[in-house]
Every structure is written in structure tokens, then in C-alpha cells.
Amino acid sequence: MTKYELAVVVSAKLEEEDRAAVVEKAKALIERFGGQITNVDDWGKKRLAYEIQKMKEGFYYFIQFDAETSAPAEIESRMRIMDGVIRYLCVKQDEK
């Protein structure tokens, strides 16, 4: 198993329960492809570096998980079409 981190920026236009549902969907995707979630960081509402889809702010979430090497590609392909997600990025974490 390899350690990964999924960064997700969720639209600030969504209500709190809708944002929570988007994060739960992302966590369910990770588990569906054999990943084990180790930590979820909620950074809250932050200003975006540049305007995306006429939005200047978004909610940042960082999900750390362990998974097989094939899982990130599957997760990213599903995140691409998920409603409420402005941006996402899945990266391999350094072994320390």
C-alpha cells in the first residue's frame, strides 16, 4: 500500500450539508477502490489564487489515505465529473 493525499476544493456556493455530502462521496470513492482513509483535514474557506468559474473562494479538504497504485487514477477520473468540486489533486506522499 502506498500513501496518498487527495486535495479537494469545494464550491463556496454550496450549503454546509451539501459540502459535507461532497466530502463523503470523495471518501466513499477512496474506500470503493480499496483505499483506507487515515486522516481528513478541513482547512475551511480560503481565497482562491485566481478566479475559477466566477468564484473567488472555496472550501479546502485534504484526505490522506493508503491505497494500491491503481487507485488514484480511478479516483481522479470520478472526481473530474463530481458536482460541487472546483479543483482536485491526488499526490503520492513521501515516505518518511
pLDDT in tens, 12-43: 999 999 999 999 999 999 999 988 999 999 99
Predicted confidence (pLDDT) at residue 1 exceeds the cutoff of 90: no
Q: Are 33 and 75 in contact (CB under 8 A)?
A: yes
Domains annotated for the chain, with CATH where assigned, are 2-53+60-83 (3.30.70.60)
Q: How far apart are CA 83 and CA 3, in angstroms?
A: 26
Contact 54, 11 (CB under 8 A): no
Sign of the dihedral defined by the CA atoms of residues 12, 78, 24, 33, in that order:
negative
User: Max alpha carbon distance in the chain (Å)?
Assistant: 39
**What per-residue confidence (pLDDT) applies to 94?**
81
Grid coordinates belonging to 77: 477520473
Mean per-residue pLDDT of the chain: 91
- pTM, two decimal places: 0.88
- The type of residue at 49 is A
Share of the chain above pLDDT 70, in %: 99
pLDDT of residue 96: 63
